[in-house]
Amino acid sequence: MNDGTIAFGRKALQTGSTLAFLNLECLEDRSKRFNTVDALIGELLVRCLQGERVAELIQYKDREHSVIIHGLGTEHRTFVEDTSVWIVSSRMVHGFSQQRRVSG
């Protein structure tokens, strides 16, 4: 940066702990974009710790699978549906012999 300001990434590297990083993220107003993800992961984690089955892997064809996440509220379901379609190529991930489609 030309104005003498230290970039966020450099500041983040200098933090000595996760807590210090999270505090920096809040101070620099960088945490808002993760609020929905944090809430979704927190909800799934709590439900898992309570013994609830939150997801299942369903095989449709020989090498086509989908992950179904159960019990999501409207906001989280919309978020997952809008952001969670990935195609993984065998060139990208060691161990996959075919492309996989994962959706929420």
Give per-residue pLDDT as tens, 64-102.
777 888 999 898 888 888 875 555 544 454 444 444 444
Q: For residue range 30-66, what is the model confidence (pLDDT) as tens digits?
A: 888 888 888 999 999 999 999 999 988 888 777 777 7
Q: What is the DSSP string of 36-88?
A: HHHHHHHHHHHHHHTT---EEEEEEETTEEEEEE-S--HHHHHHHHHH--EEE
Phi, psi of 27 (to 5 degrees): -60, -35
Instruction: Write down the pTM of the prediction.
Output: 0.58
